[in-house]
Amino acid sequence: MYETKYHKAGSLDNATSLMGSADDGKYLGGGMTLIPTMKQRLAAPSDLVDLGGIADLQGISTDGSTLTIGAGVTHAEVAGSSDVQGAIPALAALASHIGDPHVRNCGTLGGSIANNDPAADYPAAVLALGATIKTNSREITAGDFFNGMFETSLSDDEIIVSVSFPIPEKAGYAKFPNPASRYAMAGVFAASTSDGPRVAVTGAGQDGVYREDAMEAALSADWSPAAASGVDVSADDLMSDIHGTSDYRANLVKVMAGRAVEAAG
Amino acid sequence: MTTINMTVNGKAVSGEVEDRTLLVEFIREGLRLTGTHVGCDTSQCGACVVHVDGKAIKSCTMLAVQADGTNVVTIEGLANGADLHPVQAAFKENHGLQCGFCTPGMIMSAADMIERYDGKLDEATIRAELEGNICRCTGYHNIVKSIQAAADEMSKSA
Ligand SMILES: Cc1cc2nc3c(=O)[nH]c(=O)nc-3n(C[C@H](O)[C@H](O)[C@H](O)COP(=O)(O)OP(=O)(O)OC[C@H]3O[C@@H](n4cnc5c(N)ncnc54)[C@H](O)[C@@H]3O)c2cc1C
Ligand code: FES
Ligand code: FES
């Protein structure tokens, strides 16, 4: 790891001012992506501004129609929260299958979506549920937030504060984990919402997470596993790598979609 | 350099570290507690697992400065003098190790999972909970057996 200077921010204002005076700084969430990347010298921030001590980024709350989760809440906390289990059980289940127990004890919701790894789990839930991302300066809808692989509409010094998920009638998530990394080879989040069915796919698309429109249409006519897995999925815009071809992934998307709808009930 | 203070295995310690120093480097090189191992560069093997403020974490993926002010327990802190911790005893009894490289991390993960599940563990849960710990020798079978035995033993005496 290259040299870096560590700062622990006590508040949002403190964090942005520390970032403002840094040469080439980065925010530090749970460190589960950033620290491995720095160890491999693929990132070399001059300064790290740790968000772990900011109270505004903590907490889970629900008002009956919306579930709000702080950006600094860990995967383990989401998985174990009775509020999340009650409001959106599929989200708690998703969090309980991210990485391993040690990663879940540190990694955060904010860090995961800020990173927007094309194989990460949370982006599928955020997009399928039509969540709103609240930052220190504005609110961004999920559709406007994810901008392709590892890209988001966040500016360099912007901090995600919380994510608000409209509570769906029902929802399910299914992923086919890469046997070594446990990241999604394909993961599908399907939700039945007041705006109709919404389906988002992670792990498969060349541009990261995306909505599968044809599946949404099929599910609005018939909410069933067979309707979801019966949709033709084109391999054209899907990833091909040593783990699987785009045709293989296209088939995985169909199978995972069927399982997601089945899990939703 | 930054001065850090923490409690390690019940003892107050302090040290001067570079901000980029990993917690595992501070534990092994600063404190000379070499029971905690480093088995990979990718945060995947779990040989480095320790408990920070009661939570199992990978000490190769946390900076030492992040652990300033915390309470850390390493493999050296589990036994009570000459009396092995029940998880250590179960690994010994059930041949839960061969070369022993992964063992410190396995035992720290096991102690954490037994605590979180209040000793109520079955084979499928143990295997799922071992997702972040890799063993190149045993084929896991006797590790799972050891953790099951320790969980049963600890819930009996609780
Ligand atoms: C072994 C292993 C297995 C994993 N498996 C999976 C998996 O199966 N599925 C999965 O989805 N993920 C997986 N992950 C990644 C994990 O979920 C990370 O927690 C997540 O990607 C990053 O979150 P973090 O809090 O650790 O962020 P960090 O690593 O601290 O930061 C990541 C990026 O986000 C930025 N950032 C962090 N917080 C904020 C914020 N509040 N506002 C703005 N920017 C912010 C940082 O500046 C950095 O650029 C795995 C990681 C490891 C090490
Ligand atoms: S050394 Fe920490 S996970 Fe491998
Ligand atoms: S006993 Fe050798 S790596 Fe596990």
CA distances from A240 to A99, A119, A210, A229, B39 (A): 22, 13, 16, 21, 30
For a mutational test of ligand 2's pocket, the pick from B45, B133, B134, i.e. the residue with the most ligand atoms closer than 8 A to its C-beta, is: B45
pLDDT score for B18: 98
Give yes or no for residue A84 having a pLDDT over 70: yes
Residue B39 is encoded by which pair of tokens?
A: 């088995």
CA-angle at B28, arms to B24 and B33, nearest 5°: 120
What is the predicted pLDDT for the residue at B157? Answer: 72
| Ligand located closest to A176 CA | 1
Please indicate if any CB of chain A lies within 8 Å of the CB of B129: yes
CATH number of A170-264: 3.30.390.50
Report the DSSP pairing between strands A132-135 and A139-141: antiparallel
CATH number of the structural domain A55-166: 3.30.465.10
Asked if the domains B2-77 and B86-157 are classified in one and the same CATH topology, the answer is no
- What is the three-class DSSP state of A206? coil
Tell me the domain boundaries of chain A. 5-50, 55-166, 170-264
Local confidence band at A181 (pLDDT 50, 70, 90 cut-offs): confident
Q: Residue range B75-87: average pLDDT?
A: 96
Q: Is A150 helix (H, G, I), strand (E, B) or coil?
A: coil
B86-96 tens-digit pLDDT: 999 999 999 99
> CB-side exposure of B105: number of CA atoms within 13 Å?
27
- pLDDT of residue A179 exceeding 90, the answer is no
CATH class of the structural domain B2-77:
alpha beta
- Residue A133 phi, psi dihedral angles, 5° rounding: -100, 120
ipTM of the complex: 0.96
Q: Please count the other Cβ atoms lying within 10 Å of the Cβ belonging to residue B40.
A: 15
pLDDT for position B147: 98
Dist CA A201 CA A187 (whole Å): 6
pLDDT of residue B25: 98
Q: What percentage of chain A exceeds 70 in pLDDT?
A: 100
| Contact with chain A for residue B59, Cβ under 8 A | no
Query: Is pLDDT at B158 greater than 90 in this prediction?
Result: no
Helices (H), A160-237: 213-221, 225-229
**Which amino acid is present at B59?**
S
Q: How confident is the model at residue A182 (pLDDT cuts 50, 70, 90)?
A: confident
pLDDT digits 0-9 by tens, A120-170: 999 999 999 999 999 999 999 999 999 999 999 999 999 999 999 999 999
Check A2 against B49: CB less than 8 A apart. no
CA pair distance A252, A244, nearest whole angstrom: 10
H or E segment and range at residue B151 = helix B141-157
Share of chain B residues as helix, strand and coil, in percent rounded to the nearest 5: 40, 20, 40
Q: Is A44 within 8 Å of A4 (Cβ atoms)?
A: yes
* B113 touching chain A per CB within 8 A: yes
Q: Which CATH number fits domain A5-50: 3.40.50.460, 3.30.43.10, 3.40.50.2300, 2.60.40.10?
A: 3.30.43.10
Tokens of B9: 């295995």
A48–B56 C-beta distance less than 8 A: no
Tokens 């190149």 belong to residue: B136
In chain B, whose CA is at the least distance from the CA of A179?
Answer: B131
What pTM, to 2 d.p., does this model score? 0.97
Burial (CB count within 10 angstroms: exposed 0-12, middle 13-18, buried 19+), residue A172: buried
| pLDDT band, very low/low/confident/very high, at A244 (cuts 50, 70, 90) | very high
CATH 1.10.150.120 fits B86-157, yes or no: yes
Domain boundaries, chain B: 2-77, 86-157
What does the pLDDT look like over A250-259, one tens digit per residue? 999 999 999 9
Cβ-based burial of A40 (10 A; exposed 0-12, middle 13-18, buried ≥19): exposed
Residue A32 Cα, ligand 1 centroid: separation in angstroms?
Answer: 5
Residues of A in contact with B131 (CB under 8 A): 99-101, 182
Of B47, B56, B50, the closest CA to residue B73 belongs to: B50
**Among the listed residues A172, A179, A178, A174, the one whose alpha carbon sits nearest the alpha carbon of residue A198:** A172
Residue B55's pLDDT band, with cuts at 50, 70 and 90, is: very high
CA distance, residue A54 to nearest chain B CA (Å): 14
Q: Is A260 exposed, middle or buried (0-12, 13-18, 19+ CB in 10 A)?
A: buried
**Sign of the dihedral through C-alpha A86, A89, A94, A99:** positive
Residue in A237, A223, A84 with CA at minimum distance from that of residue A149? A237
Judged by DSSP in three states, A38 sits in helix
Range A198-216 average pLDDT: 97
Q: Evaluate: CB of B45 within 6 angstroms of ligand 2.
A: yes
pLDDT > 90: what percent of chain B? 97
Note the pLDDT of residue B156: 83
Q: Do A102 and B58 touch (CB under 8 A)?
A: yes
Q: How far apart are CA A26 and CA A180, in angstroms?
A: 28
